[in-house]
A and B are shown apart, each in its own frame.
Chain A
Amino acid sequence: MTLPLEIQHLKKSYGPVDAVRDVSFEVRPSEIFGLLGPNGAGKTTIISVVTTLEKPSSGVAKVFGEDVCANPMFTKRQLGVVHQEVINSGYFDVEEILEFQSGYYGLRKNTEHIHFLLHKLNLFEHRRKKVKQLSGGMKRRLMIAKALVHNPKLLLLDEPTAGVDISLRETLWDFVRELKKEGMSILLTTHYLEEAEMLCDRVGIINRGKVETMGPTKSIIKDFTQREMILTLNRDITVPKDMLLEKNEHTYRLLVSSGTHVGKVLTDLQVESAMIVDLEIKEGSLEQAFLRVLNTPEKSVKLKETHT
């Protein structure tokens, strides 16, 4: 199996500053992999290495099996990139920008696909406008159209929804899901954890240039968060102090580790089914997992990988 993207022991230093320190991960076919981390964690540097804007200090980045430094012309053709910052191109209008972008990738007559993307991203009626005449949301959509003009197989989304309102964000998420369904592999960097939780099959959390943890999104949540169980009974019970968050009459808010069987918890608390008036379980979020990983880096360094 050729992996769409494979990063092996990547290091990048700027003088004495290590922006990326020994990072390894991969993006598998037709998956959305989320690279999460606080500002300055090294996410954009990794993308810059993949797109050849930066040379790695050491390590390898491979796109569909080819080293980006050794065979850039091949790897660049496979890639579509949505940069973090909006690119301006002051002289040209939307359609011209997309035509040039197609031409850079060897597609001289690409009008049909360009119009398809313009319709898809609700930009068609704005195709004669210059970038500065577009709203923030339109600019973002233009960046995405630009990344897709040449039908790339691997899409790099570097914080594509930064500064985007919630309704557009949802439209973009739907679009990204659609691309995945069509077989595209996607690397998404973001610090909107809700976004990552909804979209990503797997995530890697990086901090200060190092991968702190990596694995399927659900397992990360399971491993690094706890469930909340809200139990309403018809009489009082005794609950260990470390489990109890809150008690309100016969309603108990309990903290339960994600891996634990609900039945076992109830048995341990000597709760019989006839006593239960109501039972609600709240799963932990990726945000909680993320915060836990970043706050306790020493304890949480573990690579959880499911090899396929």
Chain B
Amino acid sequence: MMSAGFITLFTREIKRFMKVMVQTVVTPFVSSFLYLLVFGVSLGSQVQVHGGVPYLAFLIPGLMMMGLMNNAFQNSSSSIVSSKFSGDLEDIRVAPITNQQIIWAMSLGGVVRGGLVALVTYVVGALFYYFQQGEILLIEHPLALMYFVIMGGLIFGMIGIAVAFWANSFDQLSAFSAFVLLPLTYLGGVFISVESLHPFWQTVAKLNPLLYLINGLRYGVLGVSDVEVSHSVILSMVGFVVFYGVSLWALRKGSFQRW
């Protein structure tokens, strides 16, 4: 896997999003800041979540995972779609790089960008938390946090790859974001604890796979979660295997040719 082709492609992914820093890192910083200010600080004082955790603390890992998933997806999908548009995706197909190398390079690029956004969100959140609660928001389970950052980044990076190869236009790409990713994220327990829902809706919410990823990361940061952490660990592993297969299939069947 660690061939020069893979390293080059991975480096290219990182350099690419660094070149459009404003869009890739600064924009998520602004949106996290606003979410934290409006929901965490202003509305948060009215909201009760289980386990006596302040709402602001509950919200921070949710926003971290939301930023991570969105950015990992955006990174691989917009990289591929813009390469389809400019034609340099053909260069990658013509070069001796395997589909596996493409998937790993692209999805690890997503992990780095998503991880960076999660880190920025954590730092901003921790500052708000410090001013509100007078104490530092410590990471309860760093290893669990790492696990869910990497898994979340890889899974959504791979979803991005699959969707970008499937998409025939920018419209289709944003349709997937708006009609699939966004609802699943908002209903996946970023802003609310599922325990506060009616039992029926609790059952429905638990069918949403994103709930497990979001709460896995929440466990990593706060040590609390709406779902069994072991379920989150297993489900993210399953998600990884499934989407690795899906993205591999998308690369085999999809076209590298220019739009």
Contacts and interface: CB of A to CB of B under 8 A. Distances in A.
A180 interface: no
Contact of A92 (B8, B15, B92): B15
B98 interface: yes
B88 A88 contact: yes
Nearest to B82: A90
A102 B97 CA distance: 12
B3 interface: yes
B15 A96 contact: yes
A83 B87 contact: yes
A72 B91 contact: no
Contacts of A104: 5, 8-9, 91-92, 95-97
A88 B3 contact: no
Given A72-B96, A76-B95, A79-B94, A106 B87 contact: no
Interface residues of B, number: 30
A126 B83 CA distance: 22
A77 B19 contact: no
Given A51-B93, A104-B96, A89 B9 contact: no
Given A100-B8, A104-B96, A108-B8, A87 B3 contact: no
B5 A87 contact: no
Contact of A103 (B4, B82, B86, B93): B4
Nearest to A89: B88
Interface in B1-42: 3-5, 7-9, 11-12, 15-16, 19-20
A96 B7 CA distance: 14
B231 interface: no
A237 interface: no
B91 A146 contact: yes
A100 B12 contact: yes
A74 B95 CA distance: 10
A87 B88 contact: yes
B7 to A, nearest CB: 7
Contacts of A85: 87, 258
A258 B13 CA distance: 59
B180 to A, nearest CB: 27
Contacts of B93: 51-53
A147 to B, nearest CB: 9
Interface of A: 48, 51-53, 72-74, 76-77, 79, 81, 83, 85-92, 96, 99-108, 146
Contacts of B196: none
A87 B82 CA distance: 12
Name the residue in B92, B94, B96 with the highest tally of chain A Cβ atoms < 10 Å from its Cβ: B94
Contact of A88 (B12, B87, B92, B256): B87
8 contacts: A51-B93, A53-B257, A73-B96, A76-B96, A92-B19, A103-B4, A103-B5, A104-B9
| Closest CB pairs A-B (n = 5) | A103-B8, A88-B86, A104-B95, A87-B87, A76-B96
A120 to B, nearest CB: 21
B91 A101 contact: yes
Interface string B93-119: 111111000000000000000000000
A106 B98 CA distance: 12
Contacts of A86: 87
A100 B89 CA distance: 13
Nearest to B85: A88
Contacts of B16: 91-92
Contacts of B4: 103, 105-108
A108 B7 CA distance: 9
A73 B85 CA distance: 25
A73 B4 CA distance: 14
B96 A106 contact: yes
A172 B11 CA distance: 32
A101 B11 CA distance: 12
B90 interface: yes
Contacts of B83: 89
A72 B16 CA distance: 28
Contact of B94 (A52, A74, A107): A52
A104 B82 CA distance: 19
B112 to A, nearest CB: 16
A76 B93 CA distance: 9
Given A76-B95, A104-B96, A107-B4, A89 B256 contact: no
A87 B19 contact: no
A231 B147 CA distance: 89
Contacts of A108: 4, 7-8
B11 A103 contact: yes
Interface in B139-165: none
A95 to B, nearest CB: 13
A100 B139 CA distance: 38
